[in-house]
Amino acid sequence: MRRAGRIVALALDLGNRMAKPGLRICDLDAAIEELILGADAIPAFKGYRGYPATICASVDEEVVHGIPDSRRLKEGGILGLDVGAVLDGYYADAAVTIPIGRISAQATRLMDAAREALDAAILEARPGRRVSDISRAIQTTVEKKGFSVVRTYTGHGIGSRLHEDPQIPNYVDGQTASRDEALACGATLAIEPMVNEGTWRTKVLSNGWTVVTADGRLSSHFEHTVAVQPHGPEVLTVL
Ligand code: MF3
Ligand code: CO
């Protein structure tokens, strides 16, 4: 998983360098697919429940699962880039939100909130902490800044499959608390706050994949694959 994570980190780094106004999203998809295959890994999303591409590319009000096509990135937009890779049967999954050229102060604040929520959540990935400690760290960080956390999608366990137990909600309530789980040493988790400027509610476009904010306002997504080690969290999707 560490080696798969490094490949995902390289892919996101390539995305960070390529994502400029005018770039076609399908060209970014092709470049990242080539990087993953060149590292002897396999794109984890392509073919998953029929998903047609290597990356998920979610622009502005798109929350997650945006499908690459010939659209071009626009100055002032934000791009959620989500990448998964499988190496020797082990998965890694991570995402970043990338500013396209100069973006508004509000978009910057939104991205910062989502990134800080992920950082705070990772600190909770220790033996003996509970899933709800991760969820609460995300919700508290985001809501303190006046933004909302998406409730319709969650983080997840990951390992020899892309999605494993436990589900990792980005908020806490009575329902989620009832199936709260203590984190075991060696657990591997994909933690992925999705943060909206306005309402947390979402809808899915008619292509069956692209998730957008219900109010059309901005959304930002960051994700890392993290191992719960004896001494604390180890982020696997880094260089
Ligand atoms: N990071 C997302 C997830 O964990 C990406 C999945 S896209 C899919 O669900 F196409 F694979 F579904
Ligand atoms: Co994920």
pLDDT for 179 equals 80
C-alpha distances out from residue 208 to 77, 82, 161, 171, 203, Å: 23, 17, 22, 25, 10
Looking at residue 177, what is its pLDDT? Answer: 72
Ligand 1 pocket, 82 CB below 6 A? yes
Q: Is the pLDDT of residue 176 over 80?
A: no
CATH number of 2-235: 3.90.230.10
Element (H, E) at 3: helix 2-18
Q: Domain ranges for the chain, please list them.
A: 2-235
pTM of the model: 0.97
Residue 235 C-beta-side C-alpha neighbours within 13 Å: 18
Q: Give yes or no for a contact between 84 and 92, defined as CB atoms under 8 angstroms apart.
A: yes
Strand order in the sheet with 188-191: 164-168, 155-157, 188-191, 224-229, 232-235
User: What is the predicted pLDDT for the residue at 37?
Assistant: 98
pLDDT of residue 31: 99
* Average pLDDT in the chain: 97
> Of 58-72, 73-87, 128-142, 166-180, which gets the smallest average pLDDT?
166-180
Q: How confident is the model at residue 22 (pLDDT cuts 50, 70, 90)?
A: very high
Ligand 1 mutation pick, 46, 55, 64, max ligand atoms within 8 A of CB: 64
What are the tens digits of pLDDT across the range 189-238? 999 999 999 999 999 999 999 999 999 999 999 999 999 999 999 999 99
- Span 117-142, average pLDDT: 97
CB of 153 shorter than 6 A to ligand 1: no
Query: What length does the chain have?
Result: 239
**Percent of residues, the chain, with pLDDT higher than 90:** 97
CA 24, CA 108: separation in Å to the nearest integer?
Answer: 23
pLDDT reading at 60 higher than 80: yes
CB 158 within 8 A of CB 91: yes
Which of 228, 205, 203 is closest to 213 using CA atoms? 203
Contact 12, 35 (CB under 8 A): no
pLDDT at 174 over 90: no
Whether the CB of 190 sits within 6 Å of ligand 1: yes
Residue 183: pLDDT over 90 = yes
19 lines ligand 1 (CB under 6 A): no
Measured in Å, residue 94 CA sits from the centre of ligand 1 at 10
